Amino acid sequence: MDFGYKRRPTSTTRVGNVAIGSDYPIRLQSMTSTSTMDTEGSVAQAKRIIDAGGEIVRLTAQGVREANNLAAIHAALRADGYGAPLVADIHFNPAAADTAAAIVEKVRINPGNFVDPARTFKHLEYTDKEYAEEIKRIEQRLTPLVDICRRHSTALRIGVNHGSLSDRIMSRYGDTPAGVTESAMEFLRILRGLDFNDVVISIKASNTVVMVNTVRLLVEAMDKEDMHYPLHLGVTEAGNGEDGRIRSAVGIGALLADGIGDTVRVSLSEEPECEIPVAAMLVERLDAWSGAPSLEGDEYPGYNRTEPSRRVSEAVGNIGGGNTTVAAGVDDIPTMHSVRVSADSDTLVEEAKKAAGKVIILTTGHINPAAALRRAMHRLTAAGIRNPLIAEIDYRDTSPEAVMVYAAADMGSLLLSGFADGISIKSSTIDNEALAALSLGILQAARLRFSRTEFISCPGCGRTMFDLQSTVNTIKKELSHLRHLKIGVMGCIVNGPGEMADADYGYVGAGAGRVSLYRRKECVERNIPQDEALGRLIALIKSDWLWTDPDTQ
């Protein structure tokens, strides 16, 4: 096999004047955070997204009223010469989907709540016959929407969120990649039965490991059933600033390296146009990779591509052998117990065999460094080499922001494929302290090592119940010293409780100026005034004996 970049072949989906699929460039998109009833504000924000390079713009439509107003937004953009297709984002309201499908170029529906009721974390028991009847009920409600889409040449996105799986799916499959995959496949089978093929699929999660493994599993499941729909990629609730960019790049980059992905959104708790340059950086190197020298090799026997386990190594000091993944610049990698070996060398295995009892630092000069390192790690593992392996990539004079995105994508590709006992990032444009922080951020995004507070925050949309950006920044300022905790900040309940199942505490918009507080899945304070919410969140953490004062860190 060739470890180099090769795009997964897909069918083509037409979304207005934009074609999505493997015969076309990977498309960049974002979503407005304005109220969809605010025509002027939504139009202005959509223009900023498009001017930044966005090719598709999504807006929420929580009700028929909002869906109808998409017509005014659509008309205003077209009148000003903006032809980018619009997408209606639907949750809980099939009638809004029907309305929007006659207006915009694509409608996104969520299998977790299109027909199934809102998630309550209740365990439901179904016989096989009862379960089949539930699928039939979905088909009966989905068919009228497909008819409208067919008449108006409107595409559909089947967008599954790990945080909003239905109780029905959860009860049968659990909170697992298999459950997320089946949630998508149920709808895809119905659409294929209706002979409707203008379809795009997305599977998103705030946990990059869940997101990457699930998308890989979905591709495998679709291949088995001869489905080849285009895929939209994104890490949901990624947060803001450096953390949001790193988490997005780790997850999206790992899949792009696999050749998976036909449209991309980087979800940041920032102005939506800020998402486009990050997405562009993730995509821009793929053309160079397509023309790069091949990297022929074989995966080691027993390797599981859809759910890879960490490569087995024997410890050298505190490196490898099940120890926490190390980062150069943070952890001591003793020179006397390590050796640098080129992953590009024809004598790689022979050199590794001479390095018994040492850490091997793998370097590469290939234009696709992650692929070259991944091939080398397969070669070494197949040859029985058990030395700890550290992946080293030198980005030389690449700009600091690009180094952050490229390194997160490259290292994410390796780490989420089960490789590397450590990472080493080099650059002439970033100082050692910043490189160390970047390395720790990547390891945390890959769920391998936690060194800072984990903030899971949505990018905001027309459903958001408060000023998301300022709220996130305030909460981060007050809680960033709690490095042992994960904190979710969600604008509304669509994904809030579900995504916060991976968080220790959650802060969720419940209504205008109102917030609900969660301890994991449990809502412990409901619909409280926002000006009291942060203080009560801190009090909740203190009541659980998990609070530490900043000066004790």
Residues 153-166: pLDDT tens digits? 999 999 988 777 77
Where would I find the H helices in 153-200? 167-173, 177-193
Q: What is the mean pLDDT of residues 496-515?
A: 75
Single-letter amino acid code for the residue at 455: F
What mean pLDDT, rounded, does the chain reach?
A: 90
Tokens describing residue 437: 């922080």
Calpha distance 51→57 (Å, rounded): 11
Report the distance separating Cα 211 and Cα 273, nearest Å: 24
Reported as a single tens digit per residue, the pLDDT across 288-344 is 898 888 899 999 999 998 889 999 999 999 999 989 999 999 988 888 799 999 999
Q: Kindly state the tokens that stand for 278.
A: 């990050």
Question: Helix-strand-coil percent breakdown of the chain, rounded to 5?
Answer: 40, 20, 40
In the predicted structure, residue 544 carries a pLDDT above the cut 60: yes
For residues 130-153, give the mean pLDDT.
93
CA–CA gap between residue 202 and residue 77 (Å, rounded): 26
Q: Over 408-465, what HEC string results?
A: HHHHHHHHCCCCCCEEEEECCCCCHHHHHHHHHHHHHHCCCCCCCCEEEECCCCCCCC
pTM over 0.75: yes
Closest CA to 481 of 385, 398, 380, 549: 549
Beta bridge partners of 60: 89
Instruction: Categorise residue 313: left if φ over 0, alpha if ψ from -120 to 50, beta otherwise.
Output: beta
Q: Helices 275-284 and 241-257, interaxial angle, to 10°?
A: 30
Task: Check pLDDT > 80 for residue 360.
Answer: yes
Phi-psi region of 418 (alpha: psi -120 to 50; beta: other; left: phi over 0): left
Distance CA 505, CA 34 (A): 26
Q: What is the pLDDT of residues 386-445, one digit of tens each?
A: 999 999 999 999 999 999 999 999 999 999 999 999 999 999 999 999 999 999 999 999
Q: Provide mean pLDDT across the span 220-249.
A: 89
CA distances from 309 to 64, 112, 213, 305 (A): 46, 29, 11, 9
Contact call for residues 260 and 481 (beta carbons, < 8 A): no
pLDDT at 492: 67
Q: Is the pLDDT of residue 31 over 70?
A: yes
Give the C-alpha separation, 498 to 108, whole Å.
19
3-state secondary structure of 512: coil
Give CA–CA dist 325/340, Å, rounded.
18
The whole-number pLDDT of residue 117 equals 67
pLDDT digits (tens, 9 = 90+) for 98-138: 999 999 999 999 988 888 765 666 677 778 888 888 889 99
Could you give the angle at which helices 128-152 and 177-193 cross, rounded to 10 degrees? 60
pLDDT value for 494: 61
Flag whether pLDDT at 472 surpasses 90: no
How many CB atoms sit inside 10 A of residue 91's CB? 24
Burial group, residue 117, by CB count within 10 angstroms (0-12, 13-18, 19+): exposed
Reported as a pLDDT band with limits 50, 70 and 90, residue 520 is confident
- Please tell me which residue, 466 or 251, carries the higher pLDDT value: 251
The Cα–Cα gap between 106 and 92 comes to 17
Among residues 540, 525, 529, 535, which one has the least CA distance to residue 475?
A: 535
Neighbours of 516 (CB within 10 A): 22
Sheet holding 522-529, edge to edge: 454-457, 486-490, 505-511, 514-519, 522-529
Residue 448 has pLDDT above 90, yes or no: yes
* Number of Cβ atoms within 10 Å of the Cβ of 64: 15
- Within 10 Å of residue 11's Cβ, how many Cβ atoms? 16
**Phi, psi (deg, nearest 5) at residue 518:** -125, 145
- What are the pLDDT digits (tens) for 475-498? 888 888 888 888 888 876 665 565
- Which of 97-106, 131-140, 271-280, 379-388 has the lowest average pLDDT? 131-140
Q: What is the CA radius of gyration of the chain?
A: 23
Give yes or no for a contact between 146 and 139, defined as CB atoms under 8 angstroms apart: no
Instruction: Look at the alpha carbons of 286, 291, 295, 296 in this order and tell me if their dihedral is positive or negative.
Output: positive
Which stretch of DSSP H or E encloses residue 39?
Answer: helix 39-51
- Output the pLDDT for position 493: 65
Task: Give the per-residue pLDDT at 340.
Answer: 94
State the residue for tokens 């015969």: 23
In sequence order, which ranges of 316-399 are alpha helices (DSSP H)? 348-353, 369-382
CA 471 to chain centre: 22
- Which H, E and C letters describe 384-413, residue by residue? CCCCCEEEEEECCCCCHHHHHHHHHHHHHH
Sheet (strand 389-394) strand order: 326-327, 422-426, 389-394, 359-363, 338-342
